[in-house]
Chains A and B, each alone.
Chain A
Amino acid sequence: DAKTTQPNSMESNEEEPVHLPCNHSTISGTDYIHWYRQLPSQGPEYVIHGLTSNVNNRMASLAIAEDRKSSTLILHRATLRDAAVYYCTLSGTYKYIFGTGTRLKVLA
């Protein structure tokens, strides 16, 4: 199974953009890149996903490197409610393998 590598923790000031990196050098050609976030005492929540092209939705943007060996989740304006553990995940048809996650701290 392909694996992902993420920094253990990151900090951001409120209202500033946040770039969360993920390395997945062993990704296969058919694996999608998903991002989920998890608040304390809750299950993970879907944020965004993509295959090759950059993706935008109301929560975030996903930038995927041309060789697909890395990706970056971009939160355009961090709020206190964005403080969570963010997981970069590779998915085959049924197998979603979670990386170790980045704990994001947002400073007021």
Chain B
Amino acid sequence: DTEVTQTPKHLVMGMTNKKSLKCEQHMGHRAMYWYKQKAKKPPELMFVYSYEKLSINESVPSRFSPECPNSSLLNLHLHALQPEDSALYLCASSQVGEKLFFGSGTQLSVL
């Protein structure tokens, strides 16, 4: 199994809602990542978890809250988002220092 599975594929939420994005991999990878991608732009790194601990937070606003419950799962909790947060949110995983495997992403629209 070389897949990274992200759910949901699409999400529409209001600015007062709370929602969560989920990511799962069963490749035994110990590093997991959240990226944000705006249309026609490259992916931007948000968070990195290594061995289930937060290793990198790229100065992401606190309305985005990551969580890594175990080595296979990664969540991104969303609260009080702004319309400019609308984007494709990509999850990736890797062995430490090796190539990234990406999911297909969650297309988020904030109204």
Stretch at the interface among B14-22, B73-81, B100-108: B100-108
1/0 per residue, CB under 8 A from A, across B26-51: the answer is: 00000101000000011111001010
Question: How far, in angstroms, from A94 to B95 measured CA to CA in the complex?
Answer: 10
A residues lining the B interface (CB < 8 Å): 32, 34, 36, 41-46, 49, 87, 91, 93-101
B6 to A, closest residue via Cβ:
A43
B68 adjacent to chain A (CB < 8 Å): no
Question: How far, in angstroms, from A99 to B56 measured CA to CA in the complex?
Answer: 19
Q: Say yes or no: B42 contacts A95, CB within 8 Å.
A: no
Q: Which of A44, A94, A97 contacts B50 (CB 8 A)?
A: A94
In the complex, how many residues of chain B place their beta carbon closer than 8 angstroms to a beta carbon of chain A?
23
Q: Count chain B CB atoms within 10 A of each CB in A95, A96, A98, A99 and give the residue with the most.
A: A96
A100 to B, closest residue via Cβ:
B42
Sample (14) of A-B pairs whose CB atoms are under 8 Å apart: A32-B97, A42-B105, A43-B90, A43-B103, A44-B100, A46-B99, A46-B100, A93-B96, A94-B50, A94-B96, A96-B33, A96-B45, A97-B45, A101-B42
Distance (whole angstroms) from the CB of A62 to the closest CB of chain B: 12
Question: How far, in angstroms, from A97 to B46 measured CA to CA in the complex?
Answer: 11
